[in-house]
Amino acid sequence: MNERIDPEELSLTETLVHVRRVAKTVGGGRKLSFSALVVVGDNQGHVGSGLGKGKEIPVAIRKGTAVARKNLIRVPMNGSTITHEITAKFGAAKVLLKPAAPGTGVVAGKSVRSVIESAGIRDILSKSLGSSNPVNVVQATMRALSELKDPKEELARRAKT
């Protein structure tokens, strides 16, 4: 699943998940800058996330979007939900994703919801465990989605050996 996805071929929408002001203490006082967490997706199974930093908010958002476009992954889907249950961890954030019946909707917190909706998943159950840091929760969600397997591809792979 390490194929490179070209962002130019997709019509991506960007979602700003979190902006925070960070300060560095220097000799003359505090030096302020901004960090922006951005999620991009085409609502058809492709999603990416990126963290951008800059002196102003628009610069940070632009950088975050550029990073997110480079980190696109393809999410195997079963209709409007994911193929199987999965748990992933990043730092102290742990995310549990479960497939749901059609019509359930997206049952998720803010950070997980932004990634799930950008990927185009319409029915899913999720639970965010551990840290609630949006950066780590988004990374854990991305890791979970990247570890999902397509049942048809997995059966074909197992039949070969």
Averaged over successive runs of 10 residues, the pLDDT of the chain (161 residues) comes to 71 94 94 97 94 97 96 92 96 96 95 95 96 96 94 86 63
Residues 106 and 53 in one domain: no
* Domains in the chain, number: 2
Q: Which domain, by its residues, includes 57?
A: 7-73
Task: Give pLDDT, residue 161.
Answer: 63
Of the three residues 47, 73, 99, the one that is the final residue of a domain is 73
Do residues 156 and 136 lie in contact, with contact meaning Cβ atoms separated by under 8 Å? no
Q: Are 41 and 56 in contact (CB under 8 A)?
A: no
What integer pLDDT is reported at residue 1 of this predicted model? Answer: 47
Shared-domain flag, residues 56 and 21: yes
DSSP lists the bridge partners of residue 125 as 98, 107
Same domain, yes or no, for 84 and 35? no
- 58 and 83 in a single domain? The answer is no
Full-model pTM: 0.91
Give 15's strand partners.
Answer: 39
Q: Over the range 61-91, which residues count as b (16 or more CB within 10 Å of their CB) and which as e?
A: bbbbbebbbeebbbbbbeebbbbeebebbbe
